[in-house]
Structure 1
Amino acid sequence: MPMEEDEELAMEIDALKRELEISLQKSNFLEKENQELKQELARFKSHLQSLKPHNNDRKSILWKKFHNSMDVAVAGTDSSPQSPPATDKWETTRTQKQSNWAVVKENQRMAAAAPTPAPPPPPPLPTKLLGGSKAVRRVPEVLELYRLVTKRDAQKENKATNGGFPAVAFTKNMIGEIENRSAYLSAIKSEVETHGEFVNRLIREVEAAAPRDIAEVERFVKWLDGELASLVDERAVLKHFPRWPEGKADALREAAFSYKDLKSLEAEVCSFRENPKEETNAMLKRAQALQDRLEQSVSNVERTREFNCNKYNKFQIPCQWMLDSGLPAQMKLSSLRLVKECMRRITKELQLNETPQTENLFLQGVRFAYRVHQYAGGFDSEAIVAFEGMKQVGLLLSQRK
């Protein structure tokens, strides 16, 4: 009996030692994570500080425009060639004051409505990095379960044998988690030591990159992501290389992804086709939804264009595709595909059916045609023919009623 008690005591001591080791490792791990989070927070703060001067420049430009417009308005009033008659002097003065005040209110409204460029969205993280983040987020849940199990075991001291199995099993799970995390950190450390020349080569390539057009930017980003995909965790490895041009790499990715998204949307709009099996109202809603997305995407490009062009020029990244004569103009013209398909379909529907619903359908078609016409700056020859056909059939039905 004494020997069995000694063995049980020894087993309990060993279990407590293992739990103590796990707690120490967990504490060290949390301290490291805390340091990393502090570094990330400091980096975000510095990024916000760098954006403030740009915002102040925008405000100063807007105020200068406001004061210049005021000066022009006053100068125009003072330099009138003819003096009003004496009988109308009071009326003329009142009219001038009202017009000046209208100018002031309009400039104030424009200054208040001027959008402030938003910071560019961060590029999507690699798949392996997302996988590592999920593994890290599972740790607090394990800790909560550990506390729950140990609390239950403390309440069942008279059943040490039965209560010991879950604790042992849980200890094994904790050890497995720590071993996996240790293997992950070891792999990162190993790559930092063995892939130094590889990363330095990528650093030189990114620093020297000067693409001539956006298509070359796309090809370079695709190649760069393919090279970095060989790393266990891109962010964790690259942060050990202070020379890594993170700003330029992120700007290249941002430009490539923005252009790719716009081209994908443009292709979706250009491939819009009438489906005879689809109801006319459903087709019209589908076209309007595409038009909403197109207008929103182009608006986002125009709203952030000045800020992004300044950033891209700093890193020798072409931004001609963002100008009014570039991709935005192409996307506006592509919306003609939507309205032509809709007008043709509505014309067929009006010719086949003469019901109270057709009048509403004709009204929707006219509104959508006007919307696209104003947005694209006009119609091409095919759109004009489609519009005339819809107009004639719609007006003829209205005259019959």
Structure 2
Amino acid sequence: MMTEEIAPLRNQINAILERNRYLEEQNLQLRQEAQFLRKQIQSLKERDSDQKAVLVKKFHASSLASNCTSKEKQFLPDNYNLNCKQKVLELESKMKEPRVPKPPPNPKQLQATQHARNEGVQGPPPPPPPPPPLSSKLQGGVLKAVQRVPEVVELYRMLTRKEGKVDAKAGSVGIPVAMNSREMIGEIENRSSYVLAIKSDVESQGEFINFLAKEVENAAYKDMADVESFVKWLDEELSYLVDERAVLKHFPHWPERKADTMREAACSYRDLKSLETEAASFHDDPRVITSVALKRVQALQDKLEHGVHNIERVRDSTSKRYRDFRIPWEWMLDTGIVSQIKLGSLKLVRVYMSRAVSAFKCGQFLDDDDLILNGVRFAFRVHQFVGGFDEGSRRAFQELKMLASK
């Protein structure tokens, strides 16, 4: 009797224990899932502010609240409708108040003449027209103090032949081909506020754009600094339009080619002047270790060669366009900024060779042969780039040559 009563109880206990083990396994899995979800929630919280900012910016781009779905409206700020009304009012005000352009900047020469007239002194006569462009064959050898040093080429060939390899990259820098790509703006153009703003500018800013077009057509300067000032003024005025390209394409008389060419010239001139300034202001800090200093010199030389090669590559075709649009072009010749950049390269090669000689004498490098070989390679590279050495570079090279001959 007792055995019959105990057997069902034992079965119930076993079932309860089995159920308990199953629940413990489920509990462990749930804890792991809960921990994983907590990490996910924490990650989402960190990105929540960024997502909200993106959503708010996205919804603010549309001027009509009706374009938003009911699901999107819950993310919109409370003052969204008010902002839409303000945008419409701004568009209406633009149509009522056309842009009043600022006068373009006066050329420096004109400012000097006006100042002289105010002082009662007759201004200087206008300069003669620029000479015709020199052919590429006659433009070499513009640095009077620079002379070719055949010993540089001989030593370079001797050392590279000894190493069993020729540095084919010396004196040249690979120039990546610039690829121009058009941005996709179809999504923006489909927005009603964007189209409405363009239409508003086309209808209300016609007189303003005609004034700018006339100024661009009549622009003729002899100094690139004046071109830079004019381009800066033009960009500031055109920034008033909601989309410069989209608005100006409705004005067939807009001198797009000349405006783009002036911008191109100003940008190229500014980049070249920046290289000239960087090369002229370069200073070798003796506290910097030699290996780092040599890498800095090489990096700057790469930039100088890249900038000069870019100008030389497009100089013939570009200078003709500049002359056609009455834009200064003489600065692109070897007698202009390019000569100053090459003088900066001579400064770099003096620093490099002096550093290499000092490091060799102090025994700072384990492999002195590589140090001297790299110094000769860099000297050959700059020699070919500049077209020779000046007196200071020749003296530094003689010291390097003496060490290489040992």
Q: Could you say which TM-score interval applies, normalised by the shorter chain?
A: 0.5 to 0.7
Listed as ranges, the matches of 1:113-262 within 5 Å are: 136-137=186-187, 181-262=191-272
Instruction: State the match for 1:322 in structure 2.
Output: 332
From 362, 384, 396, the equivalent of 1:386 is: 396
Q: Is 1:270 paired with 2:280?
A: yes
Counterparts of 1:260 and 1:18, CA distance in 2 = 46
Listed as ranges, the matches of 1:15-54 within 5 Å are: none
Paired residue secondary structure (2:367): helix
Instruction: State the match for 1:349 in structure 2.
Output: 359
Alignment length (residue pairs): 234
Contact 2:276 2:337 in 1 (8 A): no
User: Deviation per CA, 1:363-388, whole angstroms, max 9, x where unpaired?
Assistant: 21122112212221222233233333
| Distance change in 2, residues 1:200/1:350 (3 Å) | same
Q: CA deviation at 1:120?
A: 9.5
Q: CA deviation at 1:210?
A: 0.5
Listed as ranges, the matches of 1:329-348 within 5 Å are: 329-348=339-358
Q: CA deviation at 1:208?
A: 0.1
Contact 1:274 1:345 in 2 (8 A): no
- Name the amino acid aligned to 1:233: D
Counterparts of 1:225 and 1:18, CA distance in 2 = 35
Q: CA deviation at 1:350?
A: 1.7
Counterparts of 1:119 and 1:212, CA distance in 2 = 31
Q: CA deviation at 1:251?
A: 0.6
Counterparts of 2:352 and 2:313, CA distance in 1 = 29
Instruction: State the match for 1:307 in structure 2.
Output: 317
Counterparts of 1:330 and 1:211, CA distance in 2 = 23
- Name the amino acid aligned to 2:384: Q
- Name the amino acid aligned to 1:234: E
| Distance change in 2, residues 1:138/1:249 (3 Å) | closer
Contact 1:339 1:372 in 2 (8 A): yes
Contact 1:280 1:345 in 2 (8 A): yes
Q: CA deviation at 1:217?
A: 1.3
Structure 2 unaligned residues grouped into runs of 5+: 1-66, 70-175
| Distance change in 2, residues 1:256/1:384 (3 Å) | same
From 361, 371, 375, the equivalent of 2:381 is: 371
Structure 1 unaligned residues grouped into runs of 5+: 1-16, 20-117, 140-177
- Name the amino acid aligned to 1:280: T
Listed as ranges, the matches of 1:103-118 within 5 Å are: none
Contact 2:345 2:382 in 1 (8 A): yes
- Name the amino acid aligned to 1:214: M
- Name the amino acid aligned to 1:368: F
Task: Find the structure with the greater CA-based Rg.
Answer: 2
Paired residue secondary structure (1:313): helix
Q: Is 1:288 paired with 2:288?
A: no
Q: CA deviation at 1:254?
A: 0.7
Counterparts of 1:355 and 1:254, CA distance in 2 = 46
Paired residue secondary structure (1:247): helix
- Name the amino acid aligned to 1:182: S
User: Deviation per CA, 1:33-87, whole angstroms, max 9, x where unpaired?
Assistant: xxxxxxxxxxxxxxxxxxxxxxxxxxxxxxxxxxxxxxxxxxxxxxxxxxxxxxx
Q: Is 1:297 paired with 2:274?
A: no
Q: CA deviation at 1:182?
A: 1.4
Contact 2:365 2:371 in 1 (8 A): no
Q: CA deviation at 1:290?
A: 2.5
Instruction: State the match for 1:87 in structure 2.
Output: none
Q: CA deviation at 1:319?
A: 0.9
Q: CA deviation at 1:119?
A: 11
| Distance change in 2, residues 1:236/1:351 (3 Å) | same
Listed as ranges, the matches of 1:25-104 within 5 Å are: none
Counterparts of 1:120 and 1:250, CA distance in 2 = 17
| Distance change in 2, residues 1:324/1:121 (3 Å) | farther
Q: CA deviation at 1:18?
A: 10
Counterparts of 1:257 and 1:224, CA distance in 2 = 14
Instruction: State the match for 1:167 in structure 2.
Output: none
Counterparts of 2:370 and 2:196, CA distance in 1 = 68
Contact 1:339 1:369 in 2 (8 A): yes
Counterparts of 2:383 and 2:302, CA distance in 1 = 14
Instruction: State the match for 2:109 in structure 1.
Output: none
Contact 1:305 1:322 in 2 (8 A): yes
Q: CA deviation at 1:137?
A: 4.5
| Distance change in 2, residues 1:248/1:263 (3 Å) | same
Contact 1:273 1:341 in 2 (8 A): no
Q: CA deviation at 1:327?
A: 2.2
- Name the amino acid aligned to 1:322: M
Contact 1:248 1:315 in 2 (8 A): yes
Q: CA deviation at 1:201?
A: 0.7
Paired residue secondary structure (1:325): coil
Q: Percent same amino acid at aligned positions?
A: 50
Counterparts of 1:271 and 1:303, CA distance in 2 = 26
TM-score normalized by the length of structure 1 = 0.52
Counterparts of 2:210 and 2:267, CA distance in 1 = 25
Q: CA deviation at 1:265?
A: 2.0
